[in-house]
Structure formats: C-alpha cells, structure tokens
Amino acid sequence: MFNQIDLEYNGPVNDPKASWLITLCSVLGFLIVLTLVLLNYDAHNAGLRPYVEGSLSSSGVTNPVTAVLLNFRAYDTLLEIAVLLIVVIAVLPLRNSKTSLVRCIEVTNHDLVLTSLQRWLAPAVLMFAGYLLWAGATQPGGAFQAGALLAGACVLMFQTGVYRVNYTSIMARSLMACGLAMFIAVGLALIWFEGSLLKYPQDYAGVLILLIESGATLSIAICLASLYSSLIDIPGTGHAATFESGS
C-alpha cells in the first residue's frame, strides 16, 4: 500500500487500507500503554466508601447510591438534569403549542396485539416505576430508573398511535422543567434556611429527597419520550414539513 508515493498529490486520503492500518496501530499502542498502567495500579486505598458509610445515617436514605446522588453530590445531579433539559430544548422544534397535552386520534387499522399489550403492560410499568421511585430510598432503584421506565411506557404508547402526546404544549414544557425547577427551588430555600446550597436539615432530608426525586422522575420521563418522538416521522402532523422549512 505504500509502494507508490506521489509527491504531487494534495487531496484527501485516498487509501482507506493505509488509514485503517495506521489507526489500528495507534489504537493498539494506546491500549498497551493503558493496560500497563492498569496492571501497575495498586488499588489499596479505601476509596470514598468509609466517608459514605460514616455519614449515611444523617443523609435521610439508606441506599448509599441514592445518598451520593441526591445528598452528598446533589450538585452533579442538578447539573445533569439541566443538561437533559438543554438537549431537549435543542432538539424539539417549535411547533403548535396551543393544543392540549394528550390527544386521541382516529386510527384506521387497529393492531390488536399491540393495543392489548399496551392495555396490559402500560399500567404495570407505571406501577413498577412508582415502586422503583419509592424503593430507591432503601434498595437499588431511584429517580433515573423510574424515569426511564416511564419513558419506555410512553414509547410503548407511541407505537399504537391511539393517543398522541404533544410534547410542545405548555403542559409538557412545564412538566419537563418541573424537575429542574423543584431542584433549584429546594436548593434556594435551603440557602435561605440552612445557609448552604442543597445542605438538607437532618429531620427533613428524606422528605426533601423524595420530593426532588418525584419531580426529577417526571421530567426525565417526559424528556426522554420527547427525544424519542423528535426522531419519528409523523405523517399527519406536519412534523417533516416543519423540519423542511426549518432547514
């Protein structure tokens, strides 16, 4: 592959095999270096586990992961929900915001299997999401898992097409923002009362964490479902036309 060298050529790469080989070699070298680093790394320090264990009793929950997410490093979670909201704002096209949140549409062909699957599965998923949210205080579970399950239920609802959720209505927008708004409101109130951002008083920590988690669950679910709906080409609603005129 290197046998013909043209000094005059000034364009883009025209030998995919050579670029493949070069990339493979550099990635292999990188991998070997990283493996050597990993093999020489002695992980005998205790990590952050003792600190988490020590202050778990004052965090309001008994699941250490939830305690880290929503109490010790709550600032990270706040920023994460903000990032999710920013992505949704970037992705959702601006279209009819006057219509209601959920709308029944006429369908010509009923898919019997999908409709009955939706009818049986969606309430069960809803209930399981509520259980995960509640169990997140003591067991594995929490806001992200519950929100993702709810978003899965919304995607399932989307498949049959009987109900159509309008993700740009005022209601949906406020639901998307409610997680971040509740987080910031609690944080600001805690600045007022406790003097520091997101430093919970010990008696109310469990209640405040559950409040923030409920708002975060709702907005994560609506955000993920709207991200899914932004990728769907809906024939009847002029979604594609909006894309065309936008571009």
Contact residues: other proteins, CB under 8 A = 16-17, 19-20, 23-24, 27-28, 30-31, 34-35, 38-39, 43, 47-49, 52, 63-69, 73, 76-77, 80, 83-84, 87, 90-91, 132, 140-142, 144-145, 148-149, 151-152, 155, 220, 223-224, 227-228, 230-233, 243-244, 247
Provide, rounded to whole angstroms, the least separation between the CB of residue 7 and other proteins. 25
Provide, rounded to whole angstroms, the least separation between the CB of residue 4 and other proteins. 19
Angstrom distances, CA of residue 179 to CA of 48, 186, 216, 220: 28, 11, 4, 8
Task: Give whichever of 118 and 145 is closer to other proteins, judged by the CB atom.
Answer: 145
Task: Give whichever of 160 and 189 is closer to other proteins, judged by the CB atom.
Answer: 160
d(CA 167, CA 175): 10
Q: Do residues 201 and 189 touch, judged by C-beta distance below 8 A? A: no
Task: Give whichever of 7 and 43 is closer to other proteins, judged by the CB atom.
Answer: 43
Provide, rounded to whole angstroms, the least separation between the CB of residue 192 and other proteins. 27
Task: Give whichever of 42 and 106 is closer to other proteins, judged by the CB atom.
Answer: 42
Return the half-sphere exposure (C-beta side, CA atoms, 13 A cut-off) of residue 210: 15
d(CA 114, CA 162): 11
Provide, rounded to whole angstroms, the least separation between the CB of residue 231 and other proteins. 4
Beta bridge partners of 104: 163
Check residue 11 and give left, alpha or beta (phi > 0: left; psi -120 to 50: alpha): beta
